[in-house]
């Protein structure tokens, strides 16, 4: 298993995959033809989501940008088409914090009668002040985990049918974060998901990112058991200054200044998502965590199978009651 440390991050030295922290999304997908693939990228209107969508389209995939802000999504589409006139790009509205919006998105996508090979669960919010979603769920848990949990479950049948009819392996990629190491005691605070008094914006974010990893591990187990031709993996994109940091304070900005050499640009930040989504060397690889395009060991809680099953059941109850 790859060892990704400070030296690797600072130097950009490649790991066993041949890629490292300095690799870009274009570099890791060089020579790959994705013309037979259709992909959904959540949060594809800006930041690393937009770069992921752009590079997938550059490799000839049909890309559906799923975004809350349709004006931004259509601008992103035009930006991609400006540099790549033959790109196949669509935009559909999706607010992951709303279970109603997730269901509407899936209905709208299914109405287009498109196949679905790749699902990149990229969108997210970070360090938000305490807030509940329209369904009464803490906003970071609702957006980062629960929305993607429901979206993935509702699209699974489409992905299974596509994999069967095309013979092409389907791939699901969840963006998580090294922040999954910094969460509440026990990992997921099931009894206090919506509790304002015990709320910590940093720990709530870490909890939602741990949930992304646990979701991947449990889903990978279930799909393997079923014999479905779909892999599911998690990626940590690295430290990138995007719109996610709009809620961060002065302390985070000072930290960024002091740790400047560790930060990536957006093309580097999208590399691991694109690598895990498209690279042929990962055929059949599932339930793994990737950092800088190399497999990495996540925190202990992320590999807790009991916690993963508990989260799955808890999430099902929440989306069914929403």
Helices 47-58 and 271-278 pack at an angle, to 10 degrees, of: 40
Give the three-state DSSP class for 208. helix
* Overall residue count recorded for the chain in this entry: 322
Q: What are the start-end ranges of the H helices in 227-283?
A: 250-258, 266-269, 271-278
SS3 content of the chain, % helix, strand, coil (to 5): 50, 15, 35
> Among the options 184, 199, 205, 289, which is catalytic?
199
Termini Cα distance of the chain: 40
Indicate yes or no: pTM above 0.85. yes
Checking 242-245 for CB contacts under 8 A at 24+ apart, the result is 242/46, 242/47, 242/48, 242/266, 242/269, 243/46, 243/47, 244/47, 244/124, 244/125, 244/126, 245/126, 245/127
- Cα 104 to the chain's mean position, in Å? 20
Q: What is the predicted pLDDT for the residue at 245?
A: 45
Two structure tokens written together for 145: 């985990």
CB 23 within 8 A of CB 293: yes
CB atoms within 10 A of CB 104: 15
Q: Rg of the chain over CA atoms, in angstroms? A: 18
Q: What is the predicted pLDDT for the residue at 239?
A: 84
Two structure tokens written together for 299: 């925190």
* Per-residue pLDDT tens digits of the chain, which is 322 residues long: 655 555 565 667 899 999 999 999 999 999 999 999 999 999 999 999 999 999 999 999 999 999 999 999 999 999 999 999 999 999 999 999 999 999 999 999 999 999 999 999 999 999 999 999 999 999 999 999 999 999 999 999 999 999 999 999 999 999 999 999 999 999 999 999 999 999 999 999 999 999 999 999 999 999 999 999 999 999 999 988 655 444 455 555 555 454 445 679 999 999 999 999 999 999 999 999 999 999 999 999 999 999 999 999 999 999 999 8
Q: What are the start-end ranges of the H helices in 264-304?
A: 266-269, 271-278
Q: Is 199 a catalytic residue?
A: yes
Q: What is the predicted pLDDT for the residue at 244?
A: 46
* Domains within the chain, CATH numbers bracketed: 6-321 (3.40.50.720)
- Cα-based torsion angle of the residue sequence 100, 70, 53, 222 in order, rounded to the nearest 10 degrees: 0
Dmax over Cα atoms in the chain, in whole Å? 52
Two structure tokens written together for 147: 């929305």
Residue keyed to tokens 């299914």: 110
CB 218 within 8 A of CB 311: yes
CB 57 within 8 A of CB 111: no
Q: What is the predicted pLDDT for the residue at 8?
A: 61
- Cα 54 to the chain's mean position, in Å? 16
Q: What is the predicted pLDDT for the residue at 322?
A: 82
């Amino acid at each position: 298993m790859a060892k990704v440390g400070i030296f690797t991050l600072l130097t950009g030295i490649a790991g066993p995959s041949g890629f490292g922290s300095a690799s870009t999304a274009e570099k890791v997908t060089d020579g790959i033809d994705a013309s037979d693939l259709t992909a959904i990228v959540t949060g594809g209107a800006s930041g690393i989501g937009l770069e992921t969508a752009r590079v997938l389209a550059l490799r000839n995939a049909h890309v559906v940008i799923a975004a809350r802000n349709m004006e931004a999504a259509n601008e992103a589409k035009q930006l991609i088409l400006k540099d790549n006139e033959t790109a196949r790009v669509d935009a559909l509205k999706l607010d992951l914090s709303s279970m109603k919006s997730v269901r509407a998105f899936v209905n709208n996508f299914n109405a287009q009668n498109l196949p679905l090979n790749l699902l990149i669960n990229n969108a997210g919010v970070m360090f938000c002040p305490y807030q509940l979603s329209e369904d009464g769920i803490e906003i970071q848990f609702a957006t980062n985990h629960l929305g993607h949990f429901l979206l993935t479950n509702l699209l699974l049948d489409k992905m299974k049918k596509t994999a069967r009819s095309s013979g092409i392996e389907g791939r699901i990629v969840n963006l998580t974060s090294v922040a999954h190491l910094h969460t509440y005691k026990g990992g997921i605070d099931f009894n206090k998901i919506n509790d304002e008094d015990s709320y910590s914006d940093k720990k709530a974010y870490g909890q939602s990112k741990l949930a992304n990893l646990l979701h991947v591990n449990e889903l990978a187990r279930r799909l393997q058991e079923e014999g479905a031709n779909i892999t599911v993996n998690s990626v940590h994109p690295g430290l990138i200054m995007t719109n996610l940091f709009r809620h961060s304070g002065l302390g985070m900005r000072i930290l960024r200044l002091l740790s400047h050499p560790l930060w990536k640009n957006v093309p580097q930040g999208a590399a691991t998502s694109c690598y895990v989504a498209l690279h042929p060397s990962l055929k059949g690889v599932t339930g793994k965590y990737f950092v800088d395009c190399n497999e990495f060991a996540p925190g202990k809680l992320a590999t807790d199978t009991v916690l993963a099953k508990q989260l799955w059941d808890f999430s099902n109850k929440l989306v069914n009651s929403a």
